[in-house]
């Protein structure tokens, strides 16, 4: 049975595309076949994060127009077996795709892949409806900030109204030091507000940006890093494993916070 | 230099100077989210209210002026509370007529809670 999962958030810039690329790579590492679908028509960038931009020939629009077969449009990631990307068109009118068409594509991909991960655009208009049209499950990405959490709640409500009831939460860009100083909401705070189950916590980490610059998902990199570990844990939880959440505070070497903890502050 | 010392002290004793933006964010969000969840479908709420009233009105006479309809949230559970003061319970014969007209409704599935006003007026 393959799973069609949409990665969505409402708000832009919270880490949907970063999450999609890393989860895709992490699942492929677990010997799963994964098709990543860029549903952000007009503003595609999943190809960039994966470092596959040079190899894009056809896009989803070409498939829908009958200009190529679905299999021809898929870009295979040569670094890892089982990972492919269906790119979005960059220059076509994004209004030209309809939910029914996206659903057709995702359902066709589901015949050949274990996971279909759909990278949703920001907003709750047509692009959002396209991206969720085929989804049976959703991963909500948010950051511990007021606007992101509010938008996440709106999107959860819309998904539930559409009958997508398997919804899990990823809290991205957590800054443990700020949380400790009561300057940022904690993961628990966000969970309490949104009331959907947690599937991942990813720290704010400059390695994420470095990996983006390289076009190489963190989980495919040579070195172990906390965010890479976080993504690979999410993949394992998707696979049904019980994996404890990372203690982000453990890796914080800030002398002040250590002093404070010593004094019981 | 003075600034550096100040920053150092702030980092060492954050509570001195901190406005606790974490809890501000949380309490603001609680309000915003409750509002968002309830106001997304105020049109739907209105339509639903009319339909529920129509169904209830088949069995009892409802005080349309006094009734209350409200949405509230607890975690992801949003609940609808309807308070419908009953003026008069309809007679059985009347009910049966209505029921044959509309056999989709099973009497046993509808629980009618009478308010204090109900029986009084029914007696009057
Ligand atoms: N955990 C993180 N730590 C640091 N930077 C991050 C993290 N997650 C995302 N970013 C950065 O945030 C920006 C937006 O991320 P992106 O995945 O494109 O968001 P979206 O797809 O939701 O618009 C990117 O520049 C990305 O590198
Ligand atoms: Mg994106």
Q: Taking chain A (265 residues) in consecutive chunks of 10 residues, what is each chunk's mean pLDDT?
A: 96 98 98 97 93 96 94 97 95 78 97 98 95 97 98 96 95 96 96 97 96 95 91 98 90 58 55
CATH classification at residue A225: 3.40.50.300
Residues 125-144 of A with CB under 8 A from B: 144
- Please indicate whether, in this complex, the C-beta atoms of B36 and A265 are within 8 angstroms of each other: no
Contact B21 A256 (CB under 8 A): no
Mutation test of the interface with chain B: which of A157, A179, A252, A253, choosing the one with the most B Cβ atoms within 10 A? A157
User: Which residues, 6+ apart, have CB-to-CB distance to A246 below 8 Å?
Assistant: A201, A203, A226, A229, A230, A233
Is the CB of residue A118 less than 8 Å from the CB of residue A19? Answer: no
Provide the β-strand partners of residue B78.
B73
CB A25 within 8 A of CB A220: yes
CA distance A183 to chain B (A): 5
User: Over the stretch B79-108, which tens digit does the pLDDT of each residue have?
Assistant: 777 888 888 777 766 666 666 655 544 444
Atom of ligand 1 nearest to the CA of A212: 27
Ranges of H-type helices in A133-238 = 146-161, 176-180, 187-194, 206-214, 226-238
- Kindly state if the Cβ of A121 falls inside 6 Å of ligand 1: no
**B124 or B47, which is more confident?**
B47
Would an 8 Å CB–CB cutoff place B82 in contact with chain A? no
pLDDT bin (cut points 50, 70, 90) of residue B114 is very low
pTM: 0.77
Q: How far is the CA of A15 from the centre of ligand 1 (A)?
A: 4
Question: A262 CB near a chain B CB, below 8 Å?
Answer: no
Between residues A211 and B58, the one the model is more confident about: A211
Chosen from B9, B11, B28 to mutate, greatest number of chain A CBs within 10 A: B11
Structural domains counted in chain A: 1
B4 contacts on A by Cβ (under 8 Å): none
pLDDT band at B11 (very low <50, low <70, confident <90, very high): low
State if residue A205 touches ligand 1 by the CB under 6 angstroms criterion: yes
Q: Say if residues A64 and A108 touch (Cβ distance below 8 Å).
A: no
Beta carbon of A22 within 6 Å of any ligand 1 atom = no
Tell me what ipTM this predicted complex has: 0.84
**Res B63: pLDDT:** 82
User: A176-179 contacts: CB < 8 A, separation 24 or more?
Assistant: A176/A203, A176/A248, A176/A249, A176/A252, A177/A252, A177/A254, A177/A257, A179/A144, A179/B22
pLDDT digits (tens, 9 = 90+) for B63-84: 877 878 776 666 666 677 788 8
Report residue B119's pLDDT band, with 50, 70 and 90 as the boundaries.
Answer: very low
Query: Residue A95: which domain range?
Result: 3-262
Residue from A88, A208, A228, A230 whose mutation best tests the ligand 1 pocket (most atoms within 8 A of CB):
A208
3-state helix, strand, coil split of chain A in percent (to 5) is: 45, 15, 40
Residue B8 in this model has a pLDDT that exceeds 50:
yes
């Amino acid at each position: 049975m393959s799973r069609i999962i949409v990665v969505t958030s409402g708000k832009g810039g919270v880490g949907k595309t970063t999450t999609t690329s890393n989860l895709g790579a992490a699942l492929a590492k677990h010997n799963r076949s994964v098709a990543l679908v860029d549903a952000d028509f007009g503003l595609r960038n999943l190809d960039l994060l994966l470092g596959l931009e040079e190899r894009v020939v056809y896009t989803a629009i070409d498939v829908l127009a009958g200009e190529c077969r679905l299999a021809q449009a898929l870009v295979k990631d040569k670094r890892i077996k089982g990972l492919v990307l269906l790119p979005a068109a960059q220059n076509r009118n994004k209004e030209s795709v309809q939910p029914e068409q996206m659903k057709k594509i995702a359902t066709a991909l589901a015949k050949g892949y274990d996971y279909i991960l759909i990278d949703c655009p920001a907003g709750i208009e047509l692009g959002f409806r396209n991206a969720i049209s085929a989804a049976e499950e959703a991963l909500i990405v948010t950051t511990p900030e007021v606007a992101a959490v509010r938008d996440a709640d709106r999107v959860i409500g819309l998904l539930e109204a559409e009958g997508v009831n398997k919804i899990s939460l990823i809290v991205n860009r957590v800054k443990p030091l700020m949380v400790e100083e009561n300057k940022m909401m904690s993961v628990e705070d966000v969970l309490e507000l949104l009331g959907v189950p947690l599937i991942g916590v990813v720290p704010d980490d400059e390695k994420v940006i470095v990996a983006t610059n390289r076009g190489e998902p963190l989980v495919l990199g040579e070195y172990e890093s906390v965010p890479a570990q976080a993504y690979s844990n999410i993949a394992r939880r998707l696979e049904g494993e019980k994996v404890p959440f990372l203690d982000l505070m453990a890796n914080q070497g800030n002398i002040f916070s250590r002093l404070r903890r010593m004094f019981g502050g | 230099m003075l600034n550096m010392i100040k920053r150092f002290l702030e980092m060492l004793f954050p509570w001195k100077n901190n406005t606790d933006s974490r809890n501000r964010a949380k309490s603001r969000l609680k309000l915003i989210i409750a509002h968002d969840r309830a106001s997304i479908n105020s049109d739907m709420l209105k339509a639903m209210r009319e339909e529920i009233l129509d169904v209830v009105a088949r069995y009892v006479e409802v005080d349309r002026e006094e009734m209350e309809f409200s949405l509230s949230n607890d975690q992801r559970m949003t609940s609808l509370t309807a308070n419908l003061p009953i003026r008069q319970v309809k007679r059985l014969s009347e009910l049966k007529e209505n029921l044959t007209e509309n056999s989709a409704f099973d009497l046993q599935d509808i629980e009618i809670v009478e308010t204090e006003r109900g029986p009084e007026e029914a007696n009057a």
